[in-house]
Amino acid sequence: MPAGSALFSENNLRSFTTSIFLQIGCSEAHASLAADVLLRADLRGIDSHGVARLAGYVRLWEKGRINATPDITIVHETPTTATVDGDSGLGLVIAPFAMNLAIEKASVYGSGWVAVRNSNHFGIAGYHALMAAERQMIGMAMTNASPLVAPTFTTERLLGTNPICYAFPAGNHPPVVVDMATSAAANGKLEIAQRKNDPLPGGWVQTAGGESSTDAHALKSGGSLLPLGSDREHGSHKGFGLGATVDILSAVLSGANYGPWVPPFVSFIDPLPDLPGKGIGHFLGAMRVDGFRPVAEFHHHIDQWIDRFKAAKPIDPLQPLIIPGEPELQAAHDRKKNGIPLVDAVVSDLNTLAEKFNIQKLEG
């Protein structure tokens, strides 16, 4: 456990988080679902997307930018496609609604694809994609996000870290879960370097003028994150292309905001005027494995795929190949048993919420 942090049980954090969502007016079902999405991030070791964000959601609610009692509706539909309007609700409950719709469509027709507008931050993409994988479907989830990434050759932040997730069910092995930001580094890694006063590796950020930088604070002086690939020579145009794909599928297709107009997650920055769409956008999909081949055959071959890749000759015998999703599952096993570490700043943030809503404080 890192210094300046304490351990909390899953149950403790879950009931605390549920209470806060109830306090801002969410229904029982929404509060418990939203808490489940955040807790899953903490369990899986993706600390930046778990309860550490709870205060941020509350601040957006205080600003009137999150509706705790949304009327989530399907505004456009074919047998296997739909667009959902989230009515400014929590992405944490809108995305599961949309994924359930995709899964229903896939159950009947083989596949289902749902674009979402008028939503907010949806937590970890893996949560939603795994909903499909648990039903022997291939799950896909992506979202656009606050603009922080400058496309290749430019100095303007026009894309978010726009994650893409694919989850594949397996047989004897746990699911393969590819869950990745389309930037070279996630913002959370910059925050860690800031706390430690460490320089960044080159290729993560650039200055306001577009020069390569190792300053962990570069974004505070007009700098930008760089797309996956870091520079043109190493394929940053591909990272830009992936981020653009996420932006178009999530927002241009759904009627959400895109590019520089995506409303910031932080409540102290107001959205731009004259927005072209509503809220932020997501795109979710599910395909039945047995729409392509019998599930048992697929399980046999994906298990063989996993076994073969795990057996790959390592450069360093102490660092074998990592199957996507494996470290997160390992973290979940450990943290369910031993507790979830939260840094003191997060605990203090959560306890400020506890005071505000007059509920019991967290104790490590």
Which residues in the 238-257 window bind a second copy by CB under 8 A? 238-242, 244-245, 247-249, 252-255
**Among the residue ranges 55-63, 230-238, 267-275, 334-342, the one whose residues contact a second copy (CB under 8 A):** 230-238
Site string for a second copy, 323-352 (x = CB under 8 A): -x----------------------------
CA distance linking residue 118 with residue 243, whole number of Å: 19
Output 270 or 297, the one with its CB closest to a second copy: 297
- Closest separation between CB of residue 325 and a second copy, Å? 9
Could you count the other beta carbons within 10 Å of the beta carbon of residue 361?
12
Tokens for 102, please give them. 């995709």
**Which residues in 10-49 contact a second copy (CB under 8 A)?**
none
Q: Which helix (H) or strand (E) holds 6?
A: strand 5-8
Size of the site for a second copy (CB under 8 A): 85
Site string for a second copy, 165-204 (x = CB under 8 A): -x-x-------x-x-xxx-xx---------------x-xx
CA distance linking residue 252 with residue 13, whole number of Å: 36
Asked if 24 and 58 count as a contact pair (C-beta separation under 8 A), the reply is yes
Q: Which long-range contacts (CB under 8 A, 24 or more apart) does 331-338 make?
A: 331/43, 331/44, 331/45, 332/40, 332/43, 332/44, 332/45, 335/10, 335/42, 335/43, 335/45, 336/10, 336/43, 338/7
Site string for a second copy, 103-132 (x = CB under 8 A): ------xxx-x-x-----------------
Could you count the other beta carbons within 10 Å of the beta carbon of residue 299?
17
291 binds a second copy (CB under 8 A): yes
Out of 29, 196, 274, 315, the residue judged to bind a second copy by CB under 8 A: 315
Output 45 or 203, the one with its CB closest to a second copy: 203
**Among the residue ranges 8-16, 23-31, 234-242, 341-349, the one whose residues contact a second copy (CB under 8 A):** 234-242
Output 188 or 241, the one with its CB closest to a second copy: 241
Q: Which helix (H) or strand (E) holds 187?
A: helix 187-196
**Which residues in 72-91 contact a second copy (CB under 8 A)?**
76, 78-83
CA distance linking residue 63 with residue 267, whole number of Å: 7
Output 105 or 121, the one with its CB closest to a second copy: 105
Asked if 138 and 168 count as a contact pair (C-beta separation under 8 A), the reply is yes
**Among the residue ranges 16-24, 25-33, 54-62, 312-320, the one whose residues contact a second copy (CB under 8 A):** 312-320
Output 65 or 288, the one with its CB closest to a second copy: 288
Residue of 215, 217, 220, 240 whose CA lies nearest to 228 = 240
Output 53 or 288, the one with its CB closest to a second copy: 288
